[in-house]
Each structure stands twice: as structure tokens, then as C-alpha cells.
């Protein structure tokens, strides 16, 4: 099977008859069957994908195919799709089928995308290694003893291992960018409010965004522009008109800002640090402006992020009660025992930890000390980020402090795991768009990612920059 | 902080009252009311589900109101507009920057596990409700706030032997909650307060005000303290009062219960109590110590709702004339008595009918009487509301006009003509008067003849009259009227009889 790196190539091959959607789908299905140990998919919609492929093939013939014709896409298991199971990789949603389709998914379908299945992830998107899934770990295809990152680990590995052409992930604190970096892919966390969250099973409502994980910047931009734009179902979506992205390397010179505290962070892998310095030198040599800035708030970001996201999560996850849908404990015998046993048995350890933490920080005795303070820190981070992006076109920083770590390496130490989000949470706290692009490989052959962050709604610039940076890899 | 004898958060009246001579301490009640008003919007507060009352259980639901994963709320503009109307009607300050909060708790009728409400930025602050008691006393009860929120589903504990059934039709319907200052002192004042709220919501058309169906719900916070003191006693919240008179009954009972408890050396416990309407008593439901920490925090799924001066101004223009303004106009413009005006403005449809009626007649007083006596009497008999009354105001004006011209007597009009016109309004008032033979006779000969007949038939009474018992005049007039079958014009008859007797 030919591996298409661009949607435009698929399109060309479909139109010239070199390949059909049906053949593409069979190819992916074969590969999924061949690598079950990756555990990227929780469910494969094989028959449906075949049927959709036939439908799109005939549309291609009649010249009516949409912009995603032949593009086989996997959905992270937190996206509602009518008539399909969605579980957030949690036992608590056992047996639950969505009765509606979320906006982002619907917009892909409207452009003739072929949805091939739902991918494994950390339970309720809470995690940085995909080890928190109720349905088992996902293996990094670059090194099967290592994690793929998380929470969108299954979505990343599905693309990495060629099990689909692209996938959707969600990013609350790095859940698209970090696995994209660990698997050598392009992962975009759009501006908060660019893509409707209607149909996204909420983890932390004021942080969550849906974004694409792809092999190329071009594909990423196309999928994002199709999903983006106003939606009456989500009042937090911006009313800006639907965007259109032109992805090409720019001739002009840019100003890149590098956070001193990030590159000097003791936890940063030396290889990755050197890559950043090397890139800075190259950019400078080519006439781009590279400046270092101070951001003393770096160490406050992860704590503020965990206070605020767990607070929202503790409320968002209250609906999973064992009453109306999903898992109900066989030990339930009245209302209270239904809540207690269903939630105790239905949620995994990490989810319960975060619900407890969030409940604590919102409790009336601790609200001011934690939640309110967290909000204040968030406001300051937002202001400072805006100030810095007033001086630079983009903030340049590594996506992760290390390459993919070993399975089990951090799973016993939540704080170490939380620090995996060190360089990614800023974009979610401040609402800015950030992209991780595949950068290089460590001597052990592990992929790394380079991250760029721009002002709100500057996705166009971000894609342009990502494209410009490609020649420095 | 809460336990021990030196309670700070609950200044126990019982402890204080040890210092008072118990037997002759007079107590006063401190009452604050919380009124939930279900808004008459077509759709729910944060979804497009129908918000209509009375649908079959669980037919007006959707992924949003059932709190399905991935769903999000949406503002309902008309709910906001209705809430602003109520705020303006109660003289409140309207907040321009509004945010929503989540109130978190677990219950079967709360699908999301939280209720979207307003916590620290209620839409309305301050304001007051003017009340008028039966003895004519007036008082203003201050308001703390009015805020918007969504309703829960309805748990039904009595529909099944073993299980509680839940109807989610109500889940997500828009409410406003009106919170009064603790300035109410008696059950009567509470009665007047809720009555006024109900009258206003009906005038504004934002709620049907039906307490039995629960579209208007009232909770009362009640405490008592020795008169003259300023600290608050331990308060008790009473719920489940499904009529305005039950609000009064529950409060009266609770005041007596708490007072007696203290006088007998007991302590009032901070708790929630229910009201048993049959027995007229309150009963303990749950202790306040067990109450939830609701973990309020800003609702991240809804951006702040920002109102402009222009929007608030626009809502003002949509408001109907309210009872106080109508009352002022009815007394000033139409010269009605305070009593007549009060009766008319009590109900929006009655006031509107009167307004329409006086477009067709300038006999304002007669018009007021017709509306508040004849028409309302008829409607009460039929168990109908003014909004169901089909006879056009013009027709009533025609009747008044015929009376004023002396064509028929008032009593004939009320007893004969009015019921006939209600039966068949297609026939004009004049035609009915002819048909029913109601034209009163002012012809002297006719009346003289009848008067002679009557006086001749009761010589003893005539003698008594002539001996000074002049009060018998009415008897003779009445007899003449009877003989004439109501057609003798009363004033004329009076004249004729007096002349004959005095002759």
C-alpha cells in the first residue's frame, strides 16, 4: 500500500484512478489487523468505513467529492458520533452510545471523510502517557517499550503506524502536541474558541480544544479549517468567520522568542536543549530575529493548570453517576449506593484522584486559597503571554522535556507525570494556539517535537512558521 | 466553629433568652422569602426543548437536558428578557455584566450533577415589593436579589411502590429566584408579598403564577426573637407550601412552634421543614449541618452575558402598565374610589377589560361596578377567568348607555339583559330589551294606576306611614315595581307614591 503523506496526493490518485477509497480503507484495515499489540483503536468501524468508501468513490467519479474525500480519519474516544459508542476510555461509559454527532465530526463527514474507528486515550483525557486507559496501554510504534504520550496516544499511534491517514485528538494541557512529538507527527492545539466543543466529552471546559494530528502541516491546516468556525451549539466559540489557511513557507523574516526558563530547565533533556539552541543559531544566521525572554511564572503553570482543570473536571464528571447511562454497579441498591459504587468502580485511579483534587479546591473552605488563586495566576499568565507575543511573532520552545519515556516509568509518580505537561500547558492556560512539529530523532531513534505558539487566532501564521521551519530540521 | 455553647455562626436565641424573663417576653418573627418563578418561555433555559407544562413524562427532553456527554448549554434570550422585566417591575438595579455559576450536588433529578445558576453576580439587586395588608397598612419589603437559574427534573416519590420516578421535562426550564430581605414579620405580610409577586408575574406575562402546579414556589426562612432585640434567632427553612394561604398557615404555625419551644426552655434547631397542609403543621426534613457544600464556581461553558443600557431600555418599552400605575390612573383619571380601583387592578385581564370598556362609555363609576360586580360575579359562578369572558366591552357600554337613558332599570339590566347578552351577543342590547320586554315605563298614568292599586290594598300600612313610619315608603315602591314587572321607573314611582301619601 502506498503511503500518502498529503491529502492532495490522495486526491490526485483518486481522480486519476490510481487508487480508490475502497482500496485505501482495505489497506488501513489490514494494517490495523496486523498490529493489534499497538492497541491504538478501541473500536474499528470496518463495515461502515467500507460503505462510506464506496459512497465516496462514486462521488469522486461524478466529480462531487468533498475536500476530505479518501481521507481516512480516526477519532479520539471522547468525540460524540451518533449511533456510535463513545467511552472516554472509561469503564463508567460502558455500553454508552451517543445519540448525536458533535460539530467537528459532522464537518469532517460533510467533506466526505471516512471515519475508521475510535482511538484509545487516557481516561477522560487525563494523562500524558495513555497508561490511564481502562482499555490498556497504547504502544509507541517507534519503540514498543515506550509510551506514545497522552492523552491522545491512540490517535497519534494510529497515524504514526499508518493505521489511518489522520486523526482527531483533544488538547487540554498538551494532549495533542505531546503525543504528536513522541510519535513524530504534526499536532495542533487551536486557539480556545476556534473549534466547537459540541460533542467533545468535557475534561476541563475552559481548556479543551479539538485539533488534528497529521503527517504534514498542509493536511493539518486543511482539517482544522474544515472543523473551525462559529457554531450555535457552543457559546464559547468565536464568531469570527470560518478561516482559510494558505500553507507555504514564507520569505519574510520572523521574530522568535525563546523562554529562558524553559531552555534552562533542569528537567530538559540535553539533546532537546541542544536542538533548540541549534535551531536558534540557524534562524539567526538566516536573518530571523531570535530573542530570549524571561518567564518567571513557568513553575506556577503546572500547579495552576492542575488546580483549575481538576476543579472543572470534578464538576464535568458529575454527570457520570450510574443513573441515566453508562456503567451502574451491581452493588447499587439505592440512590446513594448507586453513586458511590458506580463511580468508585467505574472511574480509574487517576480520574478519581483528579475529581478529589478538584472537589477539594472548590470546597468553600479552600476555594480562595486554591481555585481563586489559580484563576489569578491564569490571568497573569495570559497577560504575560500576550505581552511577549507583542514583541515576538511566535514563542519557540520544545514540546516536551524528554522524548517518549518507558512504559511504567512515571505511572507511579503523578507529580513526575504532571511535569510532562511543563511546556504545553501555557497555551491552554492562555488560550493561545500552539503547534508541535516533528523535529529530529534522538540517538536512540526517538522522535522529538518543536513547538510554536502564536497570538489568539493566528493559526495561519503558525502554519506558515511551521512550514518555514521545515528546512532547518 | 459551629459546635459548642458559644456558637458564632448560629446565634442561638435559646441561649440569649435565658437572660429574658421568659413568661412575659413578647416575640417577633423574622421572615425572608425565596420565590422561584418558572418563566413562560417556549423553550428551556439552555436548550431548544419545549418548556411547556403538562407534557407526558420525559417527552420534552434531549441530549442537552439529559446532560449527555459532550453537550453544552446555550443562552435563552427570552428568559433573560423576562428576568429583566421582573427586575424592573420590582425597582431593582439591573446588572449589566452577568455571569453564570455551577451549583454542584448529586441528586437523581439533576442530570448534569450541577445546576446552572447565578451566584455572585445576580441579574438584579436591591428593589422592593410594596405590600398592602387587609387593614390598609402599607409596607415595603426590600429585596436582596433576583437571579436566573435552570430548574431540575421532578422526582415523584408516590407514583410507584418501591421506586422514585423522575420526569425530566422540567429539567432545564428557566427560573428566576426572588430573595427578600428578612423584613417580613407576619404570615399576613408573607401572604401579601407572595400575592403581589404573583400579580406582577401575571401582569408581565412571565409566569402563570400557579402554585399548585409549582410554576410559582415559595420557601420561607423563619426565626423568632424577643421583640426589641436586633440579633437573629436560629432560622428554619420551610418548603412545600403549594398555595399562598398555605404559606401564611405554615409561617403562623412555625412562629407559634418556635415561640412555644423557646418559652418552654427548648432550642430551635436550624433545619429544613416541610409543611403538611392537611394537619396545618410543619415537620422536620433534614438538619442544616448535613447540607451540601455546593462548590460554586463560574460556569465555563457560558460566556458572560452582557446587557447594554439600550437593551434594558428596550425591555422597559415592552413592559405593560403595572398595577400601581393603573391604580393611580384609575383613581385620578377616572375618579374611581380606592376600593374600586383596587379591585379592578387586582387582575390584569380585569383591568384591561375595564380600560377597553371606558373607551366606549364615560360613566366610569358604572363601568367599574359592572366589571367588578356583575361580570366578576358571573365569572365566579362559572369558575372562569376574565380572560375567558367573551362579551365585548362595547356591549357592556351599550347596556350602561341604555340604563343611563332610563330605558331600563339597573336591576333589570343585571338580572335579565346581561345573562341574555352573554348567551347570544349577536343580538344587540336594544333588541334584547324589546324582546324581553324590559323597557321601563315612565308614563304617569301607568304608574299612578299601579300606585293607587297598591295603596288601596294595604290600608293599615298607609295609616302607619301617615303616623310617621315613613320608612315604609320603600315597601310601597317595591310593590309597585313588582306589579309593573320591573318596568316602572323607580325614581318616578317614588315621586308618585310620596305625593299620594302626603296628599
CA-closest candidate to residue B223, choices B263, B182, B281, B194: B182
Residues 320-339 (A) with a CB less than 8 A from some CB of B: 320-321, 323-325, 335, 339
Residues 75-94 (A) with a CB less than 8 A from some CB of B: 78-80, 86, 88, 93
Domains and CATH numbers, chain A: 7-227 (3.90.1300.10)
CB A428 within 8 A of CB A189: yes
Per-residue 3-state assignment (H helix, E strand, C coil) for B409-444: CHHHHHHHHHHHHHHCCCCCHHHHHHHCCCCCECCH
**Ramachandran sector of residue A117 (left: φ over 0; alpha: ψ -120 to 50; beta: rest):** left
Task: Please tell me the predicted confidence (pLDDT) of residue A289.
Answer: 97
Residue B180 phi/psi, 5-degree rounding, is -85, 160
Judge whether residue B14 has pLDDT over 70: no
Judge whether residue B3 has pLDDT over 80: no
Q: Nearest CA of chain B to the CA of A250: how many Å?
A: 36
Q: Is B460 helix (H, G, I), strand (E, B) or coil?
A: helix
Compute the C-alpha angle A220/A226/A229, nearest 5°: 115
Residues of chain A found within 8 Å of residue B302, distances taken between Cβ atoms: 235-236
Judge whether residue B11 has pLDDT over 70: no
C-beta atoms of B297 and A363 within 8 A: no
End-to-end CA, chain B: 94
Judge whether residue B19 has pLDDT over 80: no
Task: Please tell me the predicted confidence (pLDDT) of residue A178.
Answer: 98
CB-nearest to A364 from B63, B70, B293 is B293
Residues of chain B found within 8 Å of residue A232, distances taken between Cβ atoms: 74
CB contact set of A182 (below 8 Å; sequence gap of 6+): A140, A142, A146, A147, A148, A149, A156, A400, A403, A404, A446, A447, A449
C-beta atoms of A200 and B108 within 8 A: no
C-beta atoms of B102 and A315 within 8 A: yes
Q: Which residues of chain A have pLDDT under 50?
A: none
C-beta atoms of A102 and B70 within 8 A: yes
CB A133 within 8 A of CB A120: yes
Mean pLDDT in residue range B118-140: 93
C-beta atoms of B69 and A324 within 8 A: no
Compute the C-alpha angle B285/B287/B290, nearest 5°: 120
C-beta atoms of B72 and A86 within 8 A: no
Q: What percent of chain A has pLDDT over 90?
A: 95
CA-closest candidate to residue A137, choices A125, A126, A153: A153
CB contact set of B341 (below 8 Å; sequence gap of 6+): B326, B327, B330, B331, B368
C-beta atoms of A99 and B302 within 8 A: no
Mean pLDDT in residue range B425-450: 82
Q: Is B162 helix (H, G, I), strand (E, B) or coil?
A: coil
CB-nearest to A319 from B75, B113, B303 is B113
Cell numbers for B503: 296628599
Q: What is the tens place of the pLDDT at every residue in B75-91?
A: 889 999 999 999 999 99
Judge whether residue B15 has pLDDT over 60: no
Q: Nearest CA of chain A to the CA of B102: how many Å?
A: 8
Cα dist. A284→A271, A291, A317, A463 in Å? 20, 9, 48, 20
Judge whether residue B2 has pLDDT over 80: no
CB-nearest to A318 from B71, B112, B164 is B112
Mutate to test the interface with B, among A362, A366, A373 (most CBs of B within 10 A): A362
DSSP state of B228: T
CB B441 within 8 A of CB B487: yes
Which residue is closest to A334 within chain B, CA to CA?
B163
Distance CA A438, CA A447 (A): 7
C-beta atoms of B111 and A233 within 8 A: no
Which residues of A participate in catalysis according to the annotation?
76, 151, 175
Cα dist. A99→A86, B68, B282, B418 in Å? 10, 9, 45, 59
Q: Which helix or strand (DSSP H or E) is residue B252 part of?
A: helix B244-263
Compute the C-alpha angle A86/A237/A210, nearest 5°: 40
CATH class, range B444-502: mainly alpha
Strands (E), B79-119: 93-94, 97-98, 101-104, 114-117
Q: Long-range contacts made by residues A83-86, C-beta under 8 angstroms, separation at least 24?
A: A84/A43, A84/A45, A84/A118, A85/A43, A85/A118, A86/A118, A86/A201, A86/B69, A86/B70
A374 close to B (CB below 8 A): no
Cell numbers for A85: 459508542
Distance CA B176, CA B127 (A): 15
Residues of chain B found within 8 Å of residue A88, distances taken between Cβ atoms: 69
Mutate to test the interface with B, among A209, A233, A334, A344 (most CBs of B within 10 A): A233
C-beta atoms of B113 and A335 within 8 A: no
Confidence of residue B494 (pLDDT cuts 50, 70, 90): confident
DSSP state of B117: E
Task: Please tell me the predicted confidence (pLDDT) of residue B442.
Answer: 67
CB A322 within 8 A of CB A329: yes
Compute the C-alpha angle B445/B447/B449, nearest 5°: 65
Tell me the domain boundaries of chain B: 5-289, 321-435, 444-502
Distance CA B182, CA B235 (A): 11
C-beta atoms of B301 and A235 within 8 A: yes
Residues of chain B found within 8 Å of residue A198, distances taken between Cβ atoms: 70-72
DSSP state of B466: H
Cell numbers for B381: 359562578
Distance CA A221, CA A214 (A): 9
CA-closest candidate to residue B146, choices B94, B207, B108, B201: B94
Mean pLDDT in residue range B241-264: 95
Distance CA A288, CA A248 (A): 17
Mutate to test the interface with B, among A75, A203, A315 (most CBs of B within 10 A): A315
Cell numbers for B49: 426543548
Distance CA B190, CA B211 (A): 15
Which residue is closest to A368 within chain B, CA to CA?
B297
Residues of chain B found within 8 Å of residue A371, distances taken between Cβ atoms: 297
Q: Is B238 helix (H, G, I), strand (E, B) or coil?
A: strand
C-beta atoms of A234 and B72 within 8 A: yes
Q: Which helix or strand (DSSP H or E) is residue B144 part of?
A: strand B138-150
Distance CA B394, CA B411 (A): 20
Mean pLDDT in residue range B375-382: 91
Per-residue 3-state assignment (H helix, E strand, C coil) for chain A: CCCCCCHHHHHHHHHHCCCCHHHHHHHHHHHHHHCHHHCCEEEECHHHHHHHHHHHHHHHHCCCCCCCCCCEEEEECCECCCCCECCCCCHHHCCCECCCCCHHHHHHHHCCCEEEEEECCCHHHCCCCCCCCCCCCCCECCECCECCCCCCHHHHHHHHCCCCCEEEEEECCCCCHHHHHHHCCEEEECCCCCECCCCECCCCCCCCEEEEEECCHHHHHHHHHHHECCCCCCCCCCCCCCCCCCCCCCCCCCEEEEEHHHHCCCCCCHHHHHHHHHHHHHHHHCCCEEEEECCCCHHHHHHHHHHHHHHHHHHHHHHCCCCCCCCCCCCCCCHHHHHHHHHHHHCCHHHHHHHHHHHHHHCCCCCHHHHHHHHHHHHHHHHHHHHHHHHCCEEEEECCCCCCCECCCCCCCHHHHHHHHCCCHHHHHHCCCEEEEEEEECCCCCEEEEEEECCCCCHHHHHHHHHHHHHHC
Residues of chain B found within 8 Å of residue A363, distances taken between Cβ atoms: 293, 295
Distance CA B91, CA B312 (A): 13
C-beta atoms of B68 and A100 within 8 A: yes
CA-closest candidate to residue A127, choices A103, A151, A153, A156: A151
Mutate to test the interface with B, among A237, A317, A324 (most CBs of B within 10 A): A324
Distance CA A459, CA A455 (A): 8
Distance CA A24, CA A70 (A): 7
Distance CA A451, CA A29 (A): 32
Residues of chain B found within 8 Å of residue A79, distances taken between Cβ atoms: 70
Which residue is closest to A358 within chain B, CA to CA?
B295
Which residue is closest to A86 within chain B, CA to CA?
B69
Amino acid at each position: 500500500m502506498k503511503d500518502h503523506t498529503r491529502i492532495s496526493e490522495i486526491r490526485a490518485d483518486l481522480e486519476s484512478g490510481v487508487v480508490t477509497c475502497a482500496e485505501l480503507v482495505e489497506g488501513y484495515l489490514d494494517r490495523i489487523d496486523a498490529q493489534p499489540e499497538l492497541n491504538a483503536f478501541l473500536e474499528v468501524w470496518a463495515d461502515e468505513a467500507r460503505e462510506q468508501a464506496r459512497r465516496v468513490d462514486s462521488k469522486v467519479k461524478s466529480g462531487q467529492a468533498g475536500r476530505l474525500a479518501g481521507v481516512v480519519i480516526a477519532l479520539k474516544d471522547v468525540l460524540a458520533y451518533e449511533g456510535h459508542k463513545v467511552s472516554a476510555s472509561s469503564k463508567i461509559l460502558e455500553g454508552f452510545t451517543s445519540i448525536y454527532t458533535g460539530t467537528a465530526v459532522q464537518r469532517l463527514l460533510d467533506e466526505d471523510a471516512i471515519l475508521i474507528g475510535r482511538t484509545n486515550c487516557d481516561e477522560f483525557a487525563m494523562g500524558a502517557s495513555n497508561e490511564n486507559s481502562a482499555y490498556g496501554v497504547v504502544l509507541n510504534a517507534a519503540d514498543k517499550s515506550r509510551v506514545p504520550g497522552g492523552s491522545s496516544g491512540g490517535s497519534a499511534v494510529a497515524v504514526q503506524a499508518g493505521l489511518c491517514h489522520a486523526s482527531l485528538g483533544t488538547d487540554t494541557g498538551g494532549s495533542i502536541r505531546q503525543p504528536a512529538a513522541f510519535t513524530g507527527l504534526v499536532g495542533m492545539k487551536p486557539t480556545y474558541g476556534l473549534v466547537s466543543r459540541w460533542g467533545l466529552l468535557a475534561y476541563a471546559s475552559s481548556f479543551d480544544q479539538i485539533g488534528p494530528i497529521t503527517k504534514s502541516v498542509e493536511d493539518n491546516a486543511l482539517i482544522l479549517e474544515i472543523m473551525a468556525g462559529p457554531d450555535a451549539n457552543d457559546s464559547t466559540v468565536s464568531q469570527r468567520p470560518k478561516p482559510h489557511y494558505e500553507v507555504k513557507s514564507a520569505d519574510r523574516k520572523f521574530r522568535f522568542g525563546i523562554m529562558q526558563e524553559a531552555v534552562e530547565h533542569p528537567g530538559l533533556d540535553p539533546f532537546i536543549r541542544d536542538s533548540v539552541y541549534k535551531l536558534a543559531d540557524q534562524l539567526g544566521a538566516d536573518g530571523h530575529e531570535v530573542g530570549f525572554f524571561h518567564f518567571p511564572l513557568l513553575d506556577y503553570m503546572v500547579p495552576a493548570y492542575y488546580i483549575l482543570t481538576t476543579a472543572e473536571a470534578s464538576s464535568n464528571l458529575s454527570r457520570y453517576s450510574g443513573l441515566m447511562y453508562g456503567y451502574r454497579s451491581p452493588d447499587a441498591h439505592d440512590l446513594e449506593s448507586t453513586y458511590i459504587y458506580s463511580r468508585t468502580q467505574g472511574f480509574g485511579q487517576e480520574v478519581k484522584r483528579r475529581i478529589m483534587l478538584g472537589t477539594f479546591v472548590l470546597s468553600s473552605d479552600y476555594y480562595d486559597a486554591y481555585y481563586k488563586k489559580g484563576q489569578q495566576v491564569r490571568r497573569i499568565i495570559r497577560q504575560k503571554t500576550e505581552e511577549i507575543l507583542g514583541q515576538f511573532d511566535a514563542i519557540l520552545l520544545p514540546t516536551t522535556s524528554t522524548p517518549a519515556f518507558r512504559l511504567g516509568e512515571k505511572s507511579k509518580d503523578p507529580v513526575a507525570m504532571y511535569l510532562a505537561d511543563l511546556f504545553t500547558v501555557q497555551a491552554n492556560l492562555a488560550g493561545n494556539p500552539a503547534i508541535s512539529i516533528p523535529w529530529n530523532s534522538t540517538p536512540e531513534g526517538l522522535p522529538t517535537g518543536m513547538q510554536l505558539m502564536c497570538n489568539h487566532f493566528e493559526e495561519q501564521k503558525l502554519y506558515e512558521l511551521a512550514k518555514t521551519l521545515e528546512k532547518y530540521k | 466553629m459551629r459546635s459548642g455553647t458559644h456558637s458564632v455562626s448560629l446565634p442561638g436565641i435559646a441561649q440569649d433568652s435565658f437572660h429574658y424573663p421568659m413568661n412575659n417576653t413578647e416575640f417577633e418573627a423574622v421572615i425572608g422569602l425565596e420565590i422561584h418563578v418558572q418563566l413562560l418561555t417556549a423553550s428551556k433555559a439552555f436548550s431548544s426543548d419545549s418548556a411547556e407544562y403538562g407534557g407526558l413524562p420525559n417527552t420534552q427532553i434531549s441530549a442537552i437536558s439529559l446532560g449527555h456527554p459532550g453537550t453544552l448549554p446555550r443562552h435563552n434570550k427570552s428568559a433573560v428578557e423576562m428576568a429583566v422585566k421582573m427586575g424592573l417591575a420590582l425597582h431593582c438595579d439591573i446588572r449589566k455584566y452577568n455571569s453564570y455559576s455551577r451549583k454542584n450536588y448529586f441528586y437523581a433529578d439533576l442530570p448534569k450533577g450541577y445546576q446552572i445558576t447565578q451566584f455572585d453576580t445576580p441579574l438584579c439587586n436591591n428593589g422592593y415589593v410594596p405590600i398592602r395588608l387587609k387593614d390598609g397598612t402599607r409596607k415595603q419589603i426590600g429585596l436582596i436579589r433576583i437571579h436566573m437559574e435552570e430548574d431540575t427534573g421532578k422526582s415523584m416519590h408516590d407514583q410507584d411502590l418501591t421506586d422514585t420516578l423522575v420526569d425530566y421535562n422540567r429539567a432545564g426550564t428557566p427560573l428566576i429566584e426572588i430573595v427578600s430581605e428578612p423584613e417580613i414579620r407576619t404570615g399576613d405580610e408573607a401572604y401579601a408579598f407572595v400575592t403581589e409577586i404573583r400579580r406582577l408575574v401575571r401582569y408581565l406575562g412571565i409566569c402563570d403564577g400557579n402554585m399548585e402546579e409549582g410554576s410559582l414556589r415559595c420557601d420561607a426562612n423563619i426565626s423568632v426573637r424577643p421583640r426589641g432585640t436586633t440579633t437573629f434567632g436560629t432560622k428554619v427553612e420551610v418548603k412545600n407550601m403549594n398555595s399562598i394561604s398555605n404559606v401564611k398557615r405554615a409561617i403562623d404555625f412555625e412562629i407559634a412552634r418556635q415561640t412555644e419551644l423557646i418559652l418552654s426552655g427548648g432550642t430551635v434547631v436550624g433545619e429544613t421543614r416541610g409543611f403538611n397542609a392537611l394537619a396545618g403543621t410543619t415537620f422536620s426534613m433534614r438538619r442544616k449541618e448535613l447540607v451540601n457544600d455546593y462548590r460554586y464556581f463560574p460556569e465555563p461553558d457560558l460566556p458572560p452575558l452582557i446587557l447594554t443600557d439600550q437593551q434594558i431600555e428596550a425591555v422597559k418599552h415592552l413592559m405593560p402598565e403595572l398595577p400601581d400605575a393603573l391604580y393611580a390612573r384609575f383613581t385620578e383619571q377616572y375618579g374611581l374610589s380606592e376600593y374600586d380601583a383596587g379591585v379592578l387592578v387586582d387582575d390584569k385581564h380585569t383591568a384591561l377589560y375595564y380600560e377597553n370598556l371606558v373607551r366606549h362609555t364615560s360613566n366610569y363609576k358604572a363601568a367599574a361596578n359592572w366589571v367588578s360586580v356583575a361580570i366578576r360575579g358571573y365569572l365566579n359562578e362559572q369558575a372562569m377567568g376574565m380572560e375567558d369572558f367573551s362579551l365585548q366591552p362595547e356591549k357592556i357600554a351599550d347596556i350602561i348607555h341604555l340604563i343611563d337613558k332610563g330605558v331600563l332599570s339597573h336591576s333589570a339590566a343585571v338580572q335579565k339583559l346581561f345573562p341574555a347578552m352573554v348567551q347570544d351577543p349577536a343580538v344587540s342590547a336594544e333588541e334584547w330589551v324589546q324582546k324581553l320586554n324590559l323597557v321601563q315605563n315612565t308614563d304617569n298614568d301607568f304608574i299612578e294606576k299601579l300606585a293607587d292599586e297598591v295603596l288601596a290594598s294595604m290600608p293599615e300600612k298607609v295609616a302607619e306611614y301617615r303616623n310617621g313610619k315613613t320608612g315604609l315608603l320603600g315597601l310601597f315602591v317595591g310593590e309597585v315595581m313588582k306589579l309593573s314587572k320591573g318596568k316602572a321607573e323607580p325614581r318616578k314611582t317614588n315621586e308618585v307614591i310620596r305625593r299620594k301619601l302626603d296628599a
